[in-house]
Amino acid sequence: MKNNNLPDHHQLIPLENPLPKWELKQKATGKALMITKEADAFMRNLNMYDKTRVYKAAEQLTSDGGYGLNSAGFKKSPMFMRYQSCSSGLGFMYSVNPEMIVVNQIKLDRHITSLHTPPNKQQMGLFEVSRTSNIRWHESISSDDIAKLTRAWGEPKAVPKISTEHVAINGMLNDLEKASWLMGVHMDTAYWDDYAKIYTLVYNPTRGGIPDFFECILDKIGTSKLAEFLAVMMVESQQTGKKRKWTAHSQGGIILTRAVELVNKRNIRLDGQRVSIHAGGNKKKRAEKAFLKAGMTIDNIKRDHPCDIVPNIAGMNDLSWSSIKRSASHASLVAGSKRPVEASPHTLPYLSAEYSIRLLQMCGYHDKAEKLAGFVTKEIGKS
């Protein structure tokens, strides 16, 4: 198709599936899928997930030759140029002739999420977050420094691809601002010796408690868009030879587990990728099975507070009567903006039972501190 006398926006090359193992559908018609060199240059700057969405949308057009129900064929638009929207906020202009469907131009339709975007309109995506101070979460941290944790990580910057060693996936009920600093703390704690200066947040937007809860269920029995997005990001990292360290918190553990299961279904390996999960709502045995099958290195997926309802009950990792009582006694500290963040058994990374007892005492929750101390004493007696 190359003609050196034509400008790039007219030169055509085949539109190839960026993830051949991901989608094995065969085109229903004999028409070739082509793309202009100009559109292909734009597509090369997209991440693998967006590339795949463009390809799938273009491939769908071939089922009716580019003229029927899956196309813009019944709309009053010029026959030589039509518009097709992709579900990922992308769209492209295309043209059709008896031999081929040609993607002429790709457009970015979506608004880029930022801290100024209302939380209910924030969209999933990739954001680089840089360290802004040397404040770190540890057992010797002062009360003043605990208050500064929310400012230890800077403003998230939207990026098209992952280029950092460290990647983190946040849990439910986090807007972009909270997810940015909180996942910085979790990543920093998970890989303490690295003292990473920057990480990429795979942002899991919130739509409120009930929608977020049902999204958790969806990834346990099916697949959310974010799990599919994360799976493709992991495959892209592997294909480019980048060994990354993935940290997930709460619902992020469910999303990460499902993402790796999707990768396993395509028989793609993730050798060299490392993973840590804190207070995950995922079933640990299911996660371990998925990660080991993919060839990932599990650094720690059991950093859970003994009174945290999320991994114990929601994750179905400890449904004993003692676990139910412990989790119920601390449930009021898991969510809500009125309680001190350091008193929560779920929000910040779990360091130790002894330190958690001290934090509860410091915040005035003496009855809860006594219950946790009683549990620790009982466990020591068993050993």
CA distance 33 to 73: 17
pLDDT digits (tens, 9 = 90+) for 146-164: 999 999 999 999 999 999 9
Among 47-56, 106-115, 261-270, 343-352, the least confident range? 106-115
Higher pLDDT, 363 or 59: 363
Among 14-28, 49-63, 278-292, the least confident range? 14-28
Region for 207 from its dihedrals, namely left if φ exceeds 0, alpha if ψ lies in -120 to 50, beta otherwise: alpha
How many Cβ atoms from other residues are within 10 Å of residue 23's Cβ? Answer: 13
Q: What is the CA radius of gyration of the chain?
A: 24
Contact criterion met (CB below 8 Å) for 152 and 135:
yes
Q: Which of 72, 42, 46 is nearest to 57 (CA)?
A: 72
Q: What is the pLDDT of residue 187?
A: 98
Q: What is the pLDDT of residue 355?
A: 96
pLDDT digits (tens, 9 = 90+) for 318-345: 999 999 999 999 999 997 767 899 999 9
- Please, which pLDDT band fits residue 8 given cuts at 50, 70 and 90? low
Q: Which helix (H) or strand (E) holds 92?
A: strand 90-96
CA distance 48 to 86: 14
- 12-108 shares its CATH topology with 119-303: no
Which residues have C-beta within 8 Å of that of residue 346, sequence separation ≥ 6? 250, 279, 305, 308, 309, 310, 333, 334
CA distance 298 to 257: 12
CATH topology of domain 119-303: Rossmann fold (3.40.50)
Higher pLDDT, 145 or 379: 145
Mean pLDDT for all residues in the chain = 90
Contact criterion met (CB below 8 Å) for 179 and 170:
yes
Which one-letter amino acid corresponds to residue 251? Q
Q: Which residues pair with 101 in a beta bridge?
A: 33, 96
Rounded mean pLDDT, 200-223? 96
The residue ranges of every structural domain in the chain are 12-108, 119-303, 319-383
Q: What is the pLDDT of residue 333?
A: 95
Given 3.40.50.2300, 3.30.750.24, 1.10.3720.10, 3.30.2310.20, which CATH number is that of 12-108?
Answer: 3.30.2310.20
